[in-house]
Amino acid sequence: MISRLRTRRLRRNAPTSESTPSKWAVELSGCARTYPGVPPVEALRPANLSVAHGDYIAVVGPSGSGKSTLLNLLGLLDRPTAGTYQLAGHNTADLSERERTAIRGHRIGFVFQSFHLLPHRTALENVALAQLYVTPRRAARSAAASAALQQVSLTHRQHALPTVLSGGERQRVAIARALVNTPDLLLCDEPTGNLDSTNAASVMDLLEELNATGVTVIVITHDPAVAARAHRSVTILDGHLTEVTAP
């Protein structure tokens, strides 16, 4: 546990050790994304959003409102066309492609609606693959994956293929994969969208537990029950982001 915490602290400083620590995990200022075309699509209109370290925030909006566009920006999978995005106090516009990839691998965990597991790899192998960037040692990858699966209570299913797991179990494997590199920020795009209410509730419990360990959680959802569990909600409608609950 101690070594895990130490690793996390080191990672929190890298690769931005020269910058001052920020209160904000995420800070958007006038951040927008327009997709080119005729006419262009203003998927995210200039948005301001500050998310403190350790916060748990829901982004709610109907289909096509810009939720995934926002998540892709937050996850460094895309770049804003206007404004700035500061991640842990560091302007992401200054990061090289290599640094963006490193941050995605080490500091950000992703959970998607459709799990995105490799079907011919066991649960353990799926989780261990996320460690390829972290260590060349296969045994170390397996040990970390096993610990992450224990965190999501799936030790007994670690050698199963995703095809024989229930939807809820698959999403828990995906969460273990997102966790295995001890991220600071967890980004979830409709994590309960393919689950029945019982499994959705267990995924929500898990997100809350992770948040309680200090991980900043941003969850995109159209489900009011999911949004109600977060500390804060923002809505997005036709690309306009609006705060619902004051921080």
Residues that bind ligand ADP (CB under 6 A): 35, 37, 41, 43, 61, 63-69
Beta strands in the chain (DSSP E): 24-35, 41-52, 56-60, 82-87, 90-91, 108-112, 185-189, 216-221, 232-237, 240-243
Task: Name which position in 16, 68, 113, 181 contacts Mg ion (CB under 5 A).
Answer: 68
Chosen from ligand ADP, Mg ion, none, partner binding at 216 (C-beta under 5 to 8 Å by type): none
Q: Which is nearer to ligand ADP, 149 or 218 (CB)?
A: 218
Neighbours of 200 (CB within 10 A): 21
Contact between 192 and Mg ion (CB under 5 A)?
no
As a dihedral over the C-alpha atoms of residue 25, residue 23, residue 234, residue 84, rounded to 10 degrees, the angle is -60
Chosen from Mg ion, ligand ADP, none, partner binding at 66 (C-beta under 5 to 8 Å by type): ligand ADP
Neighbours of 120 (CB within 10 A): 10
In the complex, the smallest distance separating the C-beta of residue 43 from ligand ADP, rounded to whole angstroms, is 3
Helices (H) and strands (E) in the chain, counts: 8, 10
Q: Which is nearer to Mg ion, 64 or 247 (CB)?
A: 64
Return the range that interacts with Mg ion (CB under 5 A); candidates 38-46, 60-68, 100-108, 121-129: 60-68
In the complex, the smallest distance separating the C-beta of residue 111 from ligand ADP, rounded to whole angstroms, is 15
Neighbours of 16 (CB within 10 A): 20
Return the range that interacts with Mg ion (CB under 5 A); candidates 36-44, 61-69, 96-104, 239-247: 61-69
Neighbours of 12 (CB within 10 A): 16
Residues in the site for Mg ion, rule: CB under 5 A?
Answer: 67-68
